[in-house]
Amino acid sequence: MISANSFIGQALERGFDFYTGVPCSFLTPLINGVISGTGLQYIGAASEGEAVAIAAGAWLAGRKTVVIYGDILFRPHILDGLMETPGDIVVAVDAFWQRRAPDSINQRDLVAADQPYSGNFLDDEPVTLRSIGAHDDGAEICGEFIGMVRFSAEGARIALAEIDAMAAEGLLRNADLPELLNRLARRTTVNVHYVTGYWLDVDTLRDLDDAHHFP
């Protein structure tokens, strides 16, 4: 499993020096590493929505912004691909979701998009998100949202406006990231970056054991 210091170092090489998120005991080494690191900054948040708002504000102030669930592990090329995919809001989606253990299938953020993964690395046709989790009847599942989103300056502005709207409607306290992304997908274009595994969602003791062997 990649160490916290290794992750922080690789992220810093890619220009990421600002962190925000909901406190998590599993992430204590990462959070402490950022707090004690030179040239790094961490701001704690009370909810996912607040963390997204802080991250969006950081982007508007000139920081690179990627929102990542605190309980996932991933290979560096996934982050690189997300940064390179065009679009103001881009989500990472695992096209090989069916290869994962099916025991938590009902708890996973399955994605419907306008195009499935083609497997053709020369295919530059953009893919657009339709929905995460809550789908219309007949929607084709194209993958699983892995809990990673990139925002451009315009994407951050749109996300902040939607977060404000959710707060005005009294929905923000119990909202989660997929709900925000579904609202954004109805309002603007949310692009999809397909990945083919090489990540791990750490939810159970079995996952924690697998994390120790994660490449």
Asked if residue 205 belongs to a domain, the reply is: yes
Asked if residue 24 belongs to a domain, the reply is: no
Judge whether 127 and 192 are in contact, CB under 8 Å: yes
pLDDT per residue, tens digit, the chain (215 aa), is 567 888 889 889 888 888 988 877 777 888 899 999 888 898 888 877 788 888 888 877 787 778 888 778 888 899 889 989 999 999 999 999 988 766 554 467 999 999 999 887 666 789 999 999 866 667 789 999 999 999 988 998 899 899 999 999 999 888 888 999 999 999 999 999 999 998 888 777 676 667 666 76
Cα(66)–Cα(74) distance, integer angstroms:
14
Asked if residue 149 belongs to a domain, the reply is: yes
Asked if residue 15 belongs to a domain, the reply is: no
Tokens for 109, please give them. Answer: 């953020």
Judge whether 150 and 131 are in contact, CB under 8 Å: no
Could you write out the DSSP letters of every residue in 9-33? Answer: HHHHHTT--EEEE---GGGHHHHHH
Collapsing DSSP to helix, strand or coil, 72 comes out as: strand
> First-to-last CA distance in the chain?
6
CA angle 104, 4, 38 (to 5 degrees): 140
Single-letter residue type at 157: R
Asked if residue 166 belongs to a domain, the reply is: yes
Q: At 124, which CATH number?
A: 3.90.550.10
For the chain, what is the domain count?
1
- What local confidence, expressed as pLDDT, does residue 206 receive? 73
Cα(14)–Cα(64) distance, integer angstroms:
9
Query: Within a 10 A sphere around the Cβ of 170, how many other Cβ atoms?
Result: 8
H/E run at residue 93: strand 89-94
**Between the CA of residue 169 and those of 19, 45, 111, 159, 174, what are the distances in Å?**
28, 21, 25, 15, 12
Asked if residue 126 belongs to a domain, the reply is: yes
Asked if residue 11 belongs to a domain, the reply is: no
Q: Which domain holds residue 197?
A: 65-211
Cα(110)–Cα(18) distance, integer angstroms:
29
Asked if residue 95 belongs to a domain, the reply is: yes
- What local confidence, expressed as pLDDT, does residue 54 receive? 85
